[in-house]
Structure formats: structure tokens, C-alpha cells
Amino acid sequence: MEIKDTLIIAKDFSSTPGARYVSDGSDVSAEAFLKILVPRLDKAIKENYILRIILDGVMGFPSSFVSGSFGKLSIERTANVLIKHIKFESDDNPIRKEQIIFEINNPKNKNA
């Protein structure tokens, strides 16, 4: 499958991703990020291509953000679909990729 779209979190969203919900007092929450991610992911699924997500340039990913975005999507769309249509990249810190894939494969139920 071909990569047809690239989402750079630091540039397209924020370099300081934060809490899970907007109501947690964070305007850079996972909930806000989903508004950017979901339409692009749905397009990738519908047109059968890969969405590349660049994880570089951020200060780090709190688990609240990862769980509230990718974990939540994993429950809604299944882990297989996410792994099939998203390619994560990080030159700064490769363990960020593993952190997100771990969350996708082991989402916390409270996200549902």
C-alpha cells in the first residue's frame, strides 16, 4: 500500500501534546487531536492507502494523550485497521513508535 498523506504532530497539532480530554483543561488534548486525525485516517481507510504520522519535534507523549487518541481509535476501529493504515515514524526517539503501537494493541477500556 502506498503512503499518500503525512501528518506531522508537532507542526499540524502541537509540540506539547497533553491530557486526554479538553475538559481536563488542556487545549492540546487527545480529544482535540482526534478532530485532526480522524478525517485523515478515515480517508486513508476509504481510499486504501497509508497515512504517515511523524512523531518528531514534540517534548514527549504523555500516555493520557496516546491512550485518548490512538487507544480510543483502536477500540473503535480495531488495532489491525490502525496498524494497516498508519505508519509511525520517529528519528528523535524510536521508542515513541513502540509506545503508540503498545497502546493500540493494549488499549485501556476506559477510552471506549
Partner 1 sequence: MLKTIFYSSYTVVGIIMLMLGLAIGFLLTDFPKIEFDNHLRLYEVINFFLTLCIAISIPFIVKKSIDDKRAIKNFLTEEVKEALKYLTKTKELINTCYSNGAITRQNKDTIIIDFDNLGLKINSLGEQLEISFKNESKTIMEELKETYLLYHRFVTGDELMREGYDKIDLGFNRDYKSHYNKLELQLKKLIHKFHCF
Identify which range of 1-9, 37-45, 55-63, 80-88 contacts partner 1 by CB under 8 A. Answer: 55-63
Return the C-alpha cell found at 25.
483543561
Binding mask 57-76 for partner 1 (x = CB under 8 A): --xxxxxxx-x---------
Can you tell me the distance from the alpha carbon of 51 to that of 64, in angstroms, rounded to the nearest whole number? Answer: 22
Residues 79-98 that bind partner 1 (CB under 8 A): 92-96, 98
Residue 13 DSSP code? I
Phi, psi of 4 (to 5 degrees): -120, -5
Asked if residue 103 binds partner 1 (CB under 8 A), the reply is yes
The H-or-E segment that residue 86 falls in is: strand 86-89
| Nearest-approach distance from CB 14 to partner 1, in angstroms | 13
| Nearest-approach distance from CB 12 to partner 1, in angstroms | 20
Please classify residue 85 by burial: count the beta carbons closer than 10 Å to its beta carbon, then call 0-12 exposed, 13-18 middle and 19+ buried.
Answer: buried
Residue numbers at the binding site for partner 1 (CB under 8 A): 16, 18-20, 24-26, 59-65, 67, 92-96, 98-99, 102-103, 108
